[in-house]
């Protein structure tokens, strides 16, 4: 069995008080998710990525609260979580934090298809057009779960059968059934929910809600293909792409995740980064 993540109610409640206070950060002006214009090859889409700076994360869970509000996620399910673990021996103890969300994987190097998309029985479906920042059109196929040309892994409930295969296929436990939503093709089953990187926001040039609210700027979102973007500069400074075996979660799964971690304290080596997900329903487990 591959390692999978579990988001528990206890983990969420640990930071609930701090998250409520940090929610006031939503009053600051929204950041901008800008894709590079000019200098691109023909029909070149941005490649969105997120960098988590673990030096800055304080475990406030403002990101979790903002995501809940943005998506109206049902109780017991989270699209983004912040895990924590006490390490060391008294009096030399530390409590590192590890934010987790959908990795918007590029897919393995053989076919470039993430496992959730590959296992979806309702993919591919209709032809769609993606318009690049330069006005170029890129053709692609949508589906119940699909990858957009800019790398975002999205879903369409109208095609969903509620089979849960995409949930089971995700090594990161980043998908769950949405108990408030009936599957588009089978009303006896539920549809799914997951992080979309707030595609509805970035399509308008605004950063995801979790990035906007983070008081410590521990989350940085942008176009990895733009050398002038902050994510590209961080990737270069910390060798995040070149050393992705050390800067991403579960590199052994060969999904090529697009969430990168600045991790000087080796948080990715802790037990919480290697938890086995054992819930038979393959959804975010609630304890």
Helix (H) or strand (E) holding 235: helix 230-237
Residue 13 placed within a domain: yes
Domain membership of residue 281 (yes or no) is no
Cβ contact 255:4 at 8 Å: no
141 forms bridges with which residues in the sheet?
127
Are the beta carbons of 36 and 133 closer than 8 angstroms? yes
Model pLDDT, residue 286: 29
Number of domains in the chain: 1
Q: Greatest CA separation found in the chain? A: 59
pTM, whole model, 2 decimals? 0.84
In a domain, 282, yes or no: no
Average pLDDT per 10 consecutive residues for the chain, totaling 287 residues: 45 43 40 56 82 97 95 89 90 92 94 96 97 93 98 98 97 94 97 96 96 97 97 98 96 96 94 60 33
Which stretches does DSSP call E strand in 150-230?
153-155, 175-183, 186-194, 219-223
Residue 224 forms part of a structural domain: yes
pLDDT score recorded for residue 287: 24
CATH of the domain at 119: 3.30.70.20
pLDDT digits (tens, 9 = 90+) for 63-80: 999 999 999 888 889 999
Cα torsion for 151, 156, 162, 167, to the nearest 10°?
Answer: 20
Range of the domain at 44: 9-273
**Distances from the Cα of 19 to the Cα of 13, 62, 198, 216, 219, angstroms:** 9, 4, 20, 13, 15
- Specify the pLDDT at position 118: 97
Q: What is residue 40's predicted lDDT score, i.e. its pLDDT?
A: 43
Given this model, what pLDDT does residue 174 score?
94
What's the pLDDT score for residue 109?
84
């Amino acid at each position: 069995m591959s390692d999978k993540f579990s988001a528990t109610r206890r983990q969420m409640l640990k930071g609930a008080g701090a998250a409520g206070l940090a929610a006031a950060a939503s009053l600051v002006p929204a950041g901008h998710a800008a894709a590079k214009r000019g200098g691109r090859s023909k029909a070149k889409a941005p490649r969105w990525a997120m960098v988590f700076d673990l030096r800055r994360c304080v475990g406030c869970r403002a990101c979790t609260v903002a995501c809940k509000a943005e998506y109206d996620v049902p109780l017991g399910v989270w699209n983004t979580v912040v895990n924590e673990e006490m390490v060391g021996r008294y009096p030399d103890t530390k409590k590192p934090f590890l934010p987790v969300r959908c990795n918007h994987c590029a897919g393995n190097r053989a076919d470039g298809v993430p496992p959730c998309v590959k296992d979806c029985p309702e993919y591919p479906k209709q032809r769609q057009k993606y318009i690049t920042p330069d006005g170029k059109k890129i053709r692609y196929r949508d589906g119940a779960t699909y990858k957009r040309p800019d790398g975002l892994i999205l879903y369409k409930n109208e095609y969903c059968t509620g089979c849960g295969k995409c949930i089971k296929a995700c090594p990161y436990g980043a998908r769950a059934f949405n108990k408030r939503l009936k599957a588009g093709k089978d009303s006896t089953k539920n549809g799914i929910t997951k992080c979309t990187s707030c595609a509805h926001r970035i399509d308008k040039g605004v950063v995801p809600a979790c990035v906007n609210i983070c008081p410590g700027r521990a989350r940085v979102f942008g176009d990895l293909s733009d050398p002038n973007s902050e994510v590209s500069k961080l990737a270069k400074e910390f060798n995040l792409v070149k050393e992705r075996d050390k800067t991403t979660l579960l590199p052994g799964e060969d999904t090529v995740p697009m969430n990168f971690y600045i991790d000087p304290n080796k948080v990715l080596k802790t037990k919480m980064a290697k938890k086995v997900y054992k819930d038979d329903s393959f959804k975010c487990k609630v304890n």
